[in-house]
A = this chain, B = another copy of it.
Amino acid sequence: MSTTGNGAGTRKLEVIGTAAETTLGATRKKVDASPPVSKLGPVEADLPASRRVYLEEDELRVPVREIQVTGGQPPVRVYDTMGPQGHDVQKGLPRLRKPWVEARLARGDRNFSQMHYARKGEITPEMRFAALRENVSAELVRDEVARGRAIIPANRNHEELEPMIIGRKFLVKINANIGNSAVSSSIQEEVDKLQWAIRWGADTVMDLSTGANIHETREWILRNAPVPIGTVPIYQALEKVKGKAEDLNIDLFLETLIEQAEQGVDYFTIHAGVLLRYVPLTAKRITGIVSRGGSIMARWCLAHHKENFLYTHFEDICEVMKKYDVSFSLGDGLRPGCIADANDEAQFGELRTLGELTQVAWKHDVQVMIEGPGHVPMHKIKENMDQQLALCHEAPFYTLGPLVTDIAPGYDHITSGIGAAMIGAFGTSMLCYVTPKEHLGLPNRDDVKTGVITYKIAAHAADLAKGHPGAQERDDALSRARFAFRWNDQFNLSLDPVTARAFHDETLPAEAAKSAHFCSMCGPSFCSMRITQDVRDYAAAKGIGEDEALAAGLQEKAAEFRGVGSALYVPEDPA
């Protein structure tokens, strides 16, 4: 019932890949026979007038996307998640972090966590990289990571990563979930999904693949991922015990964690807060337990009548996490699955436990974020944020939506986008996207795009509400383009230029209309934008608020208007 469940769903539908299928190991051994061919169009087609440029500082080259604007306006630079383009997916991305990691290995570090370095007062290249992307100081980044108020998910074995930061003093981030295909996949197919999600702005991607070729799929994704990759290890652990939750145990789980950590997974969703005593609290709910990981652990607890082994062995898990710098995404296994179940005893009980576990993780300098709901009516959203900050000691909050009503399946990207924008403005650091297929089926390519764009809207709206420095520049640039009828600029500055242009062209296809000083809404002979220009010209000439000048000016203007025959539309000179 969750987006997590959504992605995971491919499992039961998939045709297991053959053994002949590629196994791209950490050694990057190339064994795929078929030449990779991407089904994605070129970036330029989706994001015209854009180019990847770099902010340089010492050895660092930090990517931003620069959107060219006409009309003598400066280009607009926006945060870029796409990563390097045009590489051979079988070789993977350039290993940006290789030298940084090797230096740490050379000096014999044992705890590779960014929090560990931050607390020692060390500003890492990852911190400087993230700081440049956010246009803030590296010291702010270090301080927030040291306090646990922000995380930099960066497994030391994910050397292809372009480091980024998740915390409420920074830009609100969004996560997109992908899973392996219902049919056996090729490298290119899996990487295409990743590329598609980050092309539209996903800041992190969770790989919820399941089934036989799960290890290889994850390898392909990691070697080609410029963004942090998250997983839910319990899914693979469950595969290993053939779907019998009660056969799970801590050794099997740790083995799975190490396997994934070795590959370079940056954060793990771990449902260590689903305690035995909380399980019966879900009985009175309308939709009970809707988290897949949560119900697996609940089933284990009931079957053994023992406490959740993820909770009882939490420190063993921390040992793995710090060795690779994998961040915790402490799962909300008891999150509400409908409006009626929001903010109940089970949910907040688990949240309290996640707060305790956060302090245990921090004892090991392991980075932590906290997962949140789910389904919450608008008037109960702020309480979620307030409780999370209080109970989890300001660790970053990572929420799924929340959906603010249950009556619109097919439109849950919207019902959840409303809640996401609000909780983002209240302080949530990352928003897990929801697609239109939520609760109904498996998202296709269009659904993934719609989900990502909707969540970029929610995250950006939250950035504006939080007054993030520079966030409004893009809004203003687009609004100026709109006012000046620079249609192509308006399209290019938007989150989805292709769709904006297509909608415009449905009514006014002619290329000439792209520069026409009117739009289809009011037509050429009248335009509300035109008079504003007249008002502006007048005010600029006379100065505003100078009453005499105003009076005189209005007289003048009045005469002038009558002079030109009082046409409501005064065309500009051809010049």
Contact = CB atoms under 8 A, between A and B. Distances in A.
A554 interface: yes
Given A282-B532, A414-B414, A557-B305, A409 B461 contact: no
Max count, chain B CB within 10 A of own CB: residue among A289, A291, A502: A289
A290 B539 contact: no
Contacts of A525: 12, 243
Interface of A: 1, 5-6, 8-9, 11-13, 238, 243-247, 276-277, 279-292, 294-296, 298-299, 302-305, 337-340, 377-379, 404-411, 413-415, 417-418, 421-422, 425, 436-437, 439-442, 444, 453-454, 456-458, 460-462, 464-467, 472, 474-476, 478-480, 482-483, 490-491, 493-496, 499-500, 502-504, 506-508, 519-526, 528-529, 531-536, 538-540, 544-545, 550-551, 554-555, 557-558, 561-562, 566-568
Nearest to A542: B280
A404 B464 contact: yes
Contact of A504 (B13, B440, B466, B550): B440
Given A407-B493, A476-B338, A540 B283 contact: yes
B528 A295 contact: yes
Contacts of A291: 528
Given A475-B338, A532-B282, A532-B285, A415 B461 contact: yes
B557 A6 contact: no
A9 B520 contact: yes
Nearest to A333: B528
| Pairs of residues from A and B, 9 with the lowest C-beta to C-beta distance, nearest first | A12-B523, A288-B532, A283-B539, A441-B507, A338-B479, A295-B528, A378-B465, A9-B521, A410-B499
A558 B244 CA distance: 14
A521 to B, nearest CB: 4
A540 B280 CA distance: 10
Given A418-B458, A521-B1, A536-B288, A495 B378 contact: no
Given A460-B405, A503-B440, A302 B495 contact: no
Given A245-B568, A302-B561, A522 B8 contact: yes
A11 B568 CA distance: 15
A414 B415 contact: no
Nearest to A302: B557
A378 B409 contact: no
A561 to B, nearest CB: 4
* Majority secondary structure, A binding face: helix
A482 B522 contact: no
Contact of A441 (B6, B245, B292, B504): B504
Identical copies in the complex? 2
Contact of A340 (B422, B479, B539): B479
A281 B536 CA distance: 9
B460 A422 contact: no
A8 B528 CA distance: 12
A359 B140 CA distance: 53
A248 B524 CA distance: 20
Given A425-B378, A544-B280, A13 B523 contact: yes
Nearest to A459: B405
A439 B491 CA distance: 11
Contacts of A508: 441
Contact of A283 (B303, B408, B439, B538): B538
A562 B246 contact: yes
Contact of A409 (B246, B476, B494, B535): B494
Contacts of A474: 407
23 contacts: A1-B521, A9-B521, A9-B523, A12-B526, A243-B526, A243-B568, A244-B568, A247-B566, A279-B535, A280-B544, A284-B536, A284-B544, A288-B536, A298-B535, A303-B566, A338-B482, A408-B494, A410-B499, A410-B502, A436-B503, A437-B503, A440-B503, A440-B504
A335 to B, nearest CB: 11
Contacts of A464: 339, 377-379, 404-405
Given A338-B479, A526-B243, A299 B410 contact: no
Given A244-B566, A291-B528, 13 more contacts: A9-B520, A283-B538, A287-B529, A290-B528, A294-B528, A305-B551, A378-B422, A405-B475, A409-B490, A410-B494, A414-B414, A439-B490, A439-B521
Contacts of A417: 414, 417-418
Max count, chain B CB within 10 A of own CB: residue among A280, A478, A499: A280
A442 B507 contact: yes
